[in-house]
Amino acid sequence: MKYYIGIDLGGTNIKAGVVNEEFEIIAKATCKTNLPRPAEEICEDMAKVALEAVKNAGLEIEQIESVGIGTPGTANSDTGVIEYSNNLGFLNFHVVDLMKKFINKPCYVENDANAAAYGEYVAGAAKGANDAVCITLGTGVGGGIIINGKIYSGFNFAGAEIGHTVIDPNGPQCTCGRHGCFEVFSSATGLVRMTKEAMFEDKDSIMWKMNEEDGKVSARTAFNAMRAGDKAGKEVVDKYIKYLACGITNTINIFQPDILCIGGGVCNEGDPLLLPLKELVAKEIYTKNSAKNTEIVIAKLGNDAGIIGAAFLGLSHKK
Print the SS3 string covering 70-125: EECCEEECCCCEEEEECCCCEEEECHHHHHHHHCCCCEEEEEHHHHHHHHHHHHCC
Q: What is the dihedral of CA 40, 45, 50, 52, to 10 degrees?
A: 150
Asked if 261 and 124 touch (Cβ cutoff 8 Å), the reply is yes
Contact (CB, 8 A) for 266 and 137 = yes
DSSP class of residue 173 equals: B
Q: What is the pLDDT along the chain (319 residues), one digit of tens a residue?
A: 999 999 999 989 999 999 999 999 999 999 999 999 999 999 999 999 999 999 999 999 999 999 999 999 999 999 999 999 988 999 999 999 999 999 999 999 999 999 999 999 999 999 999 999 999 998 889 999 999 999 999 999 989 999 999 999 999 999 889 999 999 999 999 999 999 999 999 999 999 999 999 999 999 999 999 999 999 999 999 999 999 999 999 999 999 999 999 999 899 999 999 999 999 999 999 998 888 999 999 999 998 999 999 999 988 777 6
Q: Using the 8-state DSSP alphabet, how is residue 196 labeled?
A: H
* 90 within 8 A of 54, measured Cβ to Cβ: no
Confidence at residue 319, expressed as pLDDT on a 0 to 100 scale: 60
SS3 166: strand
- Can you give the pTM of this predicted structure? 0.90
For 276-305, what is each residue's pLDDT tens digit? 999 999 999 999 888 899 999 999 999 899
Amino acid at 277: L
CB 121 within 8 A of CB 150: no
At residue 315, the pLDDT reads 82
- Domains assigned to the chain: 3-122+304-318 (3.30.420.40), 129-299 (3.30.420.40)
Q: Using an 8 Å Cβ cutoff, are 69 and 45 in contact?
A: no
Residue 275: how many other CB atoms lie within 10 Å: 11
User: Residue 83's CB: how many other CB atoms inside 10 A?
Assistant: 16
- Cβ atoms of residues 233 and 204 within 8 Å: no
Q: Per 3-state DSSP, what percentage of the chain is helix, strand, and coil (rounded to 5)?
A: 45, 25, 35
